[in-house]
Structure 1
Amino acid sequence: MKSFGFLSFGHYETEGALDAGQMLHDAVEIANGADELGVNGAYFRVHHFAAQSASPMPLLSAIAARTERIEVGTGVIDMRYENPLYLAEEAAALDLLSDHRLALGISRGSPEPALRGWESFGYEDLSEPKAATMAREKFDRFLRAVRGERLAPADPAQFGPGARLRVEPHSPGLERRIWWGAGSGATAEWAAQQGVNLMSSTLLTEATGASFGDLQAEQIERYRAAWREAGHDWTPRVSVSRSIFPITTDLDDLYFGRRGRGQGDQIGIIDDTRSTFGKTYAGEPDRLVEELRADAAIAAADTLMLTIPSQLGVDYNLHILESFAEHVAPSLGWNPNTHGPVKGYAI
């Protein structure tokens, strides 16, 4: 494992009356503390019409302004809801402001509370109920814009006949920090063909009886094989996410000890498809190291995202990240952004 970050779903309106404003302020503070700990990335889920994180650019901009090293990004933006060229403009501007620390995870998106919510945003796909084709077509246009392709015909009165314009601003190198969130092996192969990084989903739309880690490792291998076949001239990144809670205090044990011990992967139905969900890892650090080393997908990936319970507040979430950074990550080969002092966050 070369790097790890946190993945926040940004839940609010939970017990304790956490509202959207407090969630956003907490997210900035968690990211700032994580940056001081040397955590490599701060990533946020995007869910529309729900009491969760949405519209990530203002939040990521605020985090980038407060931090120095940490990568800021998403996991994932639902492309069905997006204007691809406007998203490309926003992404390039944020990447330039953050000194090239942006890493955007994009995908078709997960099921939303709204019925075909993208239609309320003004986008329609009459060809299929899940609008997957529309998402991929928009993603193609977004990528072309990020790569600097001149997509718009210029006014001939100003530029002469045949001239074309690209989206501005343009941020060189951003194209290599775009990820596609994939929930199956076939989708991972498609991502490789597009020349983007792989963000393996928190669930897989496959249920063969194999463990989640083994299914994900197979997906990663299919992605890398497709990448080699496509002949791209650079090495992509691969991320996986896990719920991991080192038990170092009585409060950790109260929150997660009983929940994590003895539980395995889960099988469920999502989008009418039988799917596999990864288990929660919770235990003493030495035991966690042993279990995580045996997870084939963690071994195969270069980036690990820890899903955090953001609604439990700034100090407790930084305690989780600090415990992982101090007691678990070094044994997985973690390469921190900095070797600053351990903060010792109170809980």
Structure 2
Amino acid sequence: MKSFGTLSFGHYGPLGGGHQLSAQDSLLQAIDLAQGLDELGVNGIAFRVHHFARQQASPMPLLAAIAARTSRIEVGTGVIDMRYENPLYLAEEAAAVDLISDGRLALGVSRGSPETVVRGYEAFGYTGSEDPRGADIAREHFSLFLRAIEGEGLAERDPYSPFGGGTGLQRIEPHSPGLRSRIWWGAGNRDSAEWAGTVGVNLMSSTLLTQADGTPFDVLQAQQIDAFRGAWTAAGHPGEPRVSVSRSIFPITTAEEARYFGGGAGDDQIGVIDGIRSTFGKTYAAEPDVLVEQLRQDEALHSADSLMITIPSQLGVAFNLRLMESFATYIAPALGWEPTVATV
């Protein structure tokens, strides 16, 4: 494991007992958390993107704010739902954040996950999908997005323009060299992972797969990663792609953590998502020495180079920093991780 970071759902709303976490609270706490993680030497912070829900929905302003307040940590998403995106506008925003962060953007995109509304992307103006889940729209948008960040000319220059004119095709501005290598595709099955390898983007694999044949989740995910790397090699892409996996991991070192997560560990689960039988990865919750032994048996974790740990953002900045400090101190080094700065 070369790197690890956090993945936040960014939930806000009622917390119970009359307490409320507002959208503003969620955003400002995310910035504070990123600063603390940067100081700890954690490698990345990413946010899920969900529209029409009390979660993060517009990540670029948040990522830009984090980039301006940190110096080392990667800032990213896991994932942006491409069904909702204007690909050229997203290309402009992504390039701007990448430049502000000095190349620290790790942008995860995909078809997206199940929604709280019916075909919400149509309300954003993206209609005409022939797929019940809008996968064709996502792939079409993603293709144009890649062309844009690669610097391809996409609009005819106006030779009579008072702002420069000229002939030929104009690329999107700003342009960030190298951004193309920092794009990730979130894949929920083997076919999608192979497609990502063929296209030549990094692989982001989550805590569920739309497969359910009784094979353990980590084995299914390791097979998915192998298929991705095989497709990358067959397509002739240079270099080595990056691969991340997500896990719910809770080191228990205090009585408070035991109250929240003690007994929370379990086995893989089989369920239905978007009408498809799927395998959901288990939660890891135990004392650090136990977690080390459990994670050493996780095949996909050994196949990946990056680990994204889902965090309970509603519990606040201090609580999550303590969780990540425990992971960085007692667990990550045993899995091969080396900190970029000394841990506190």
TM range (shorter): over 0.9
Paired residues of 1:88 and 1:146 also in contact (CA < 8 A): yes
Matching residue within 190, 207, 213 for 2:212 = 207
Q: What CA distance in whole angstroms lies between the structure 2 residues aligned with 1:164 and 1:181?
A: 31
Post-superposition Cα deviations, 1:144-180, rounded to whole Å, max 9, x if no partner, equal: 101111111112435455x000000100000000000
* Residue in structure 2 matched with residue 90 of structure 1 by the alignment: 93
* Residue in structure 1 matched with residue 106 of structure 2 by the alignment: 103
Q: What CA distance in whole angstroms lies between the structure 2 residues aligned with 1:13 and 1:200?
A: 28
Q: Map residues 1-347 of structure 1 onto 2, 5 A cutoff.
A: 1-15=1-15, 16-158=19-161, 159-161=165-167, 163-260=168-265, 263-339=266-342, 341-342=343-344
TM-score (norm 1): 0.96
Post-superposition Cα deviations, 1:303-323, rounded to whole Å, max 9, x if no partner, equal: 000000000011001010000
Q: What CA distance in whole angstroms lies between the structure 2 residues aligned with 1:130 and 1:214?
A: 27
Q: What CA distance in whole angstroms lies between the structure 2 residues aligned with 1:303 and 1:315?
A: 24
Post-superposition Cα deviations, 1:53-86, rounded to whole Å, max 9, x if no partner, equal: 1100011111111111000000000000000000
Q: What CA distance in whole angstroms lies between the structure 1 residues aligned with 2:166 and 2:317?
A: 56
Q: Which secondary structure does the structure 2 equivalent of 1:17 belong to?
A: strand
Q: Which amino acid aligns with 1:328?
A: I
Paired residues of 1:105 and 1:181 also in contact (CA < 8 A): yes
Deviation at 1:235, TM superposition (A): 1.1
Paired residues of 1:14 and 1:311 also in contact (CA < 8 A): no
Q: Gaps spanning 5+ residues in structure 2: where?
A: none
Paired residues of 1:47 and 1:112 also in contact (CA < 8 A): yes
Q: Which secondary structure does the structure 2 equivalent of 1:111 belong to?
A: coil
Paired residues of 1:70 and 1:337 also in contact (CA < 8 A): no
Aligned residues: 338
Paired residues of 2:35 and 2:66 also in contact (CA < 8 A): yes
Paired residues of 1:150 and 1:167 also in contact (CA < 8 A): yes
Q: What CA distance in whole angstroms lies between the structure 2 residues aligned with 1:234 and 1:124?
A: 37
Deviation at 1:128, TM superposition (A): 1.8
Deviation at 1:125, TM superposition (A): 2.7
Q: What CA distance in whole angstroms lies between the structure 2 residues aligned with 1:56 and 1:34?
A: 18
Q: Which amino acid aligns with 2:196?
A: A
Q: Which amino acid aligns with 1:200?
A: S
* Identity fraction in percent: 65
- Runs (4+) of structure 1 exceeding 2 A deviation are 156-161
Q: What CA distance in whole angstroms lies between the structure 2 residues aligned with 1:14 and 1:296?
A: 38
Q: What CA distance in whole angstroms lies between the structure 2 residues aligned with 1:14 and 1:307?
A: 20
Post-superposition Cα deviations, 1:70-114, rounded to whole Å, max 9, x if no partner, equal: 000000000000000000000001100111110100000001101
Paired residues of 2:155 and 2:170 also in contact (CA < 8 A): yes
Q: Gaps spanning 5+ residues in structure 1: where?
A: 343-347
TM-score (norm 2): 0.97
CA RMSD of superposed structures (Å): 1.0
